[in-house]
Structure 1
Amino acid sequence: MEQWFKQKWFQWMLILLVTILWGYSWILMKDALQYMGPFTFSALRFVTGAAAMLLIVWLLRAGRPPRSALPHLIVVGILQTSVVFILVMYALKFIDAGKSSLLLYSMPLWSGLLAAIFLRERISKLRWGGVGLGIVGLLIVMGADALSQQSKDVIIGELLIILAAVSWGASNVYYRLKLSDLPKLQVNAYQMLFGTIAIALVSWIAEGGEPVVWTPESVYYVLFTGVLASAFCFTIWFMLLGHLDMIGATMPSLLVPVFGLFFGWLLLGEVLTVSVVVGSALILSGVFLANIKREH
């Protein structure tokens, strides 16, 4: 199997599979709100996902992290799992799935900015241009909604998604500072576990008395997003990281919102307005440029 991961065609096949599954999962996350509250769904998804991740860690004999790493794993779990998906799922009550995926995957822009501040990474003019281009794209998407007199809830939902993207970017920087020496698969499993505990607590406080409608569809949504979109996709992705070049590492951030917008249009009938299309092009171009690193 290790030999296969070194083959370019196999890498790109897996990248395409993972990004399609991640893009499609946005549709399920949106539709799941018909059956349960947003925090309850996140808790069920990540209980399932964390259990599957821990099983994978055990099967692959990845081991347990040292005790000294546990506080840092808790911080990453709160930033990357708890905050991101509490905000995202709540915001999905008000805004389209495709637009939500687009706004969340502005994350590399915020990662770059935070890395420049906290990791002292130098940012080239090209990368600064990418950050600026992406932010202009965000302003176009949100500004068009504000000018078209969208409800206040839509604007607040968009701001929550962007805040989630910033939190995700912060978790990446914190990981680089405190956990980069640990195996990536181990980090993801345990941060997901700790993040799930926080989500479950929020769910119990905010939605503890609300019913969950169990149907074949709602069970499918929980299992797909928990086992496939979370545990399976992240496992495959971490196994690929050791073999991917810069373009390969950038592609998932570019493709997920593309598939999210496509599936939102195809399956949920979401409208692709001119502002969303133009803003998408600018954001994705900005993400691409912001992740280019010149070789010295």
Structure 2
Amino acid sequence: MSYKKFENTYLNYLSQHKWLVWVMILTVVLIWGYAWTLMKEALQYMGPFTFSAFRFGTGTLAMFIIIGLLGATKLPKESTKHLVVVGILQTSIVFLLVMYGLKFVEAGKSSVLLYSMPIWSTLLAVIFLKEKTKTNKVVGLLIGLIGLFTILGWDIWVNQTPGVILGELLIVLSAISWGASNVYYRKKLSHLSQLQVNAYQMLFGTLGIILVAVLIEGGEPIHITPYSIYIILFTGVLASAFCFTAWFFLLSIIDMATATISTLLVPVFGLFFGWLLLDEPITWSITIGSFLILFGIFVTTIKKRKST
């Protein structure tokens, strides 16, 4: 079966069974939320950059098996340089910074900070894509930024260490890089299949991660155990390859606003699993800041839905 025929058949089936769409959304956000605790625990077995190399190396292999089976490996040559840029922004920078930041910051708080990404996407789209700024979008952005600084600001004065501050700033930078990759994708690669873009950007991004891992952590020990293999396979195959593939189909069925709003559940599950599995505390600053970030993103995406 050709790639286009498979895609159309699957999309038609999902369109006729709406409950499956919501099952898929819940599955994706649950996997992504749980993956944050696994990413934190992976640091007990290997360096953060080494783990990222294993994770996305596994994810890249899985992605190319998928697009190979679907006959979707061929890309226009002129798109290669743009895919390299997206790969560096979305995979290399984001996950190198996130994994290093996780050495100092709880998994739950890290997920909240990273999923401030839609706020930065909105701000960068205004600057580089010349999107018009409407009242609801500005209000949502300001609410989200207040929430972000609530999480960072309150804890600075309460048992805060330079390492934690550094980790939080690195994760915020990773969210900005992710937002930048979204804007660059819309500007340069939106005409391509998102499934293909995910596969190739992950490939180029993984090469960057491997280079950093070899240079910085080349001599460090790697502890291979059944549990560390489980972490790599889960985050590589499920959290990366499967979830990105599922996300491609979801974006073809539901509107962008609904899809974006659904990702707000990821940090909620990240905080929950961090508390449940890693005994990470949920403080008032995290609770209030998280609520403000999620509400700010909600306001922003609601305006996007109205403008479409």
Alignment match of 2:55 (pick from 45, 63, 79): 45
Whole-angstrom distance in 2 between the partners of 1:61 and 1:10? 25
Q: Is the 8 A contact 1:145 1:155 kept in 2?
A: no
- Report the AA paired with residue 164 of structure 1: S
Match of residue 79 from structure 1: 89
- Report the AA paired with residue 62 of structure 1: A
Q: Is the 8 A contact 1:19 1:252 kept in 2?
A: yes
Whole-angstrom distance in 1 between the partners of 2:93 and 2:255? 30
Deviation of residue 247 (structure 1)? 4.4
Does residue 158 of structure 1 match 2:168?
yes
Alignment match of 2:220 (pick from 210, 216, 227): 210
SS across alignment from 1:213 = coil
Deviation of residue 143 (structure 1)? 0.7
Q: Please list, as runs of the form range in 1=range in 2, the aligned pairs for 1:212-251 lying within 5 A after superposition.
A: 212-251=222-261
TM-score when normalising by structure 2: 0.94
Match of residue 5 from structure 1: 14
Does residue 93 of structure 1 match 2:103?
yes
Whole-angstrom distance in 2 between the partners of 1:207 and 1:148? 32
Does residue 27 of structure 1 match 2:37?
yes
Does residue 116 of structure 1 match 2:126?
yes
- Report the AA paired with residue 37 of structure 1: G
Identify unmatched segments of 5+ residues in structure 2: 1-9
- Report the AA paired with residue 221 of structure 2: P
Q: Please list, as runs of the form range in 1=range in 2, the aligned pairs for 1:184-203 lying within 5 A after superposition.
A: 184-203=194-213
Percent of paired sites with the same residue = 60
Moved over 3 A (4+): none
Deviation of residue 147 (structure 1)? 1.2
Deviation of residue 181 (structure 1)? 0.6
- Report the AA paired with residue 241 of structure 2: A
Whole-angstrom distance in 1 between the partners of 2:155 and 2:189? 39
Q: Is the 8 A contact 1:21 1:229 kept in 2?
A: yes
Whole-angstrom distance in 1 between the partners of 2:184 and 2:12? 32
Please say which of residues 59-68 and 26-35 is displaced more in the overlay. Answer: 59-68
Write the deviation string for residues 9-61 of structure 1: whole angstroms up to 9, x where unpaired. Answer: 11111000000000000000000000000000000000000010011111112
Q: Is the 8 A contact 1:97 1:264 kept in 2?
A: yes
Does residue 147 of structure 1 match 2:157?
yes
SS across alignment from 2:253 = coil
Match of residue 181 from structure 2: 171
Deviation of residue 290 (structure 1)? 1.4
Whole-angstrom distance in 2 between the partners of 1:240 and 1:249? 7
Match of residue 138 from structure 1: 148
Deviation of residue 228 (structure 1)? 0.4
Alignment match of 1:62 (pick from 56, 60, 72): 72
User: Taking structure 1 as reference, are residues 175 and 132 closer, same or farther at Cα in structure 2, changes over 3 Å only?
Assistant: same
Deviation of residue 252 (structure 1)? 3.0
Root mean square deviation, CA, Å: 1.0
Match of residue 298 from structure 2: 288
- Report the AA paired with residue 2 of structure 1: L
Deviation of residue 245 (structure 1)? 2.4
Deviation of residue 253 (structure 1)? 2.3
SS across alignment from 1:34 = coil
Q: Is the 8 A contact 2:115 2:267 kept in 1?
A: yes
Aligned residues: 296
Q: Is the 8 A contact 2:11 2:253 kept in 1?
A: no
SS across alignment from 1:242 = helix
- Report the AA paired with residue 250 of structure 1: T
Deviation of residue 126 (structure 1)? 0.6
Whole-angstrom distance in 1 between the partners of 2:71 and 2:28? 23
Whole-angstrom distance in 2 between the partners of 1:112 and 1:49? 28
Whole-angstrom distance in 1 between the partners of 2:228 and 2:43? 9
Identify unmatched segments of 5+ residues in structure 1: none
Whole-angstrom distance in 1 between the partners of 2:73 and 2:58? 20
